[in-house]
Amino acid sequence: MAVKNKTRCVSIPTQVRFLKESFPDSKITTYMGTRLEWLGFLQPTPFSERYKIKIEYLLGEWPKIYVLQPKKLKMPAGAKKLQHIYNQKTQQLCLFYPDGIQWNRSKLLADTILLWASEWLYFYEIWLETGEWKGGGTSH
C-alpha cells in the first residue's frame, strides 16, 4: 500500500544510519536504493522476553514489521487469534493507522516504528497475563 501524501521523504541511507545508531547490534540485511530490511531485538521491559524483529521497508510504501522469534507468539487461554496483527501466520504487527498522520515517509523508522513495536510487545505481554488487550487500536 503506497503512502499517499506529499511529505518530504527520509532517504534509505538516512534510515539505515539512524537504525544502526539507535540499535548498534542490529543488522541491515538488505540495503538497496529504495529498499531496506532490518533485523534486531526488542525487549519492552527488563523482565520481558527478547523478541527478534524484522522491518521491511520500500520507499513510498508502509513499513512492514514482523516478529520472527519466538517463531509463534502465544495467546492467552480462550483467545482465537493474536490481537492487532495483519497476518496471523507471518506475525505482521499493526502499529499505526494508515492515514499518513501517525507514520509517513518523513519519519524515522528508529524513532517511530521500533518504539511502537516495543510498545506493542509490552501490551502483548499484558494481554498474555490478563486476556485483555490494553493497547488500544481497532480490530482486524
What is the average pLDDT across 109-131?
95
Helices (H), 29-89: none
Helix (H) or strand (E) holding 66: strand 64-69
Matching residue, cell 541491515: 28
Contact 55, 34 (CB under 8 A): no
Helix (H) or strand (E) holding 17: helix 12-22
Tell me the C-alpha distance between 6 and 70, whole Å. Answer: 37
Residue 2 belongs to some domain of the structure: no
Residue 3 belongs to some domain of the structure: no
pLDDT in tens, 61-119: 999 999 999 999 998 888 888 888 998 899 999 999 887 788 889 999 999 999 999 99
139's CB contacts (< 8 A; 6+ apart) are 83, 84
pLDDT in tens, 25-61: 999 999 888 999 999 999 999 999 999 999 999 998 9
Closest-CA residue to 92 (of 114, 64, 73, 69) = 64
What is the average pLDDT across 14-26?
96
Domain range for 22: 12-129
Domain count, the chain: 1
Residue 6 belongs to some domain of the structure: no
Q: Are strands 92-93 and 35-42 parallel, antiparallel or unpaired?
A: unpaired
* Residue 44, domain CATH: 3.10.110
